[in-house]
Amino acid sequence: MALGDFLFPQAELTLVIVHSFETDIESEKDKFSQEYLDSTARIMLSNGDIKRLGLKEGGNVSVKSKSGSVTVRAFGDDNISEGMSTMPRGPWAMALVPVPNDGSPIQLHGISITVVRSDEQITSLENLFD
């Protein structure tokens, strides 16, 4: 194990983007509100993956896929298996979704991601659309 892996452990996970009524409600109010950011700029991990990454509940993580990267808050969930993760459907999750160039529909599940603890601020909604 390299020193960098010890200092900044990362996890290779599978992402499933899920529907969230909380996100729907907050998006109807104001997509630029703190409430919308709190309900959408998040990733749910197994408690085992939270521990393996050395995260505190609500700590920031960088999430990268072949299509993009975002910084969001991470939370543990007893109902998620190790190696899996979920994010509510919204701009942060959609930045990670590969867009097929053959006209086939996008897939919101089975996305390979890398998650690592981060000191960066949550990716702003404005920066997602730059």
**Complete DSSP assignment for 49-68:** HHHHTTPPTT-EEEEE-SS-
* Overall pTM > 0.95: no
Structure tokens at 81: 């298996």
Question: Which residues are within 8 A (CB) of 111 and not within 5 positions of it... i.e. 6 or more apart?
Answer: 14, 15, 16, 17, 65, 96, 97, 98
Contact 23, 89 (CB under 8 A): yes
Each residue's pLDDT tens digit, 17-46: 998 777 666 666 777 788 888 889 999 999
Look at the domain 8-128 and name its fold: Barwin-like endoglucanases (2.40.40)
Res 75: pLDDT: 97
Residue 51 reports pLDDT greater than 90: yes
Residue 4 reports pLDDT greater than 60: no
Please report which confidence band the pLDDT of residue 121 belongs to, taking 50, 70 and 90 as the band edges: very high
Res 62: pLDDT: 97
3-state SS class at 37: helix
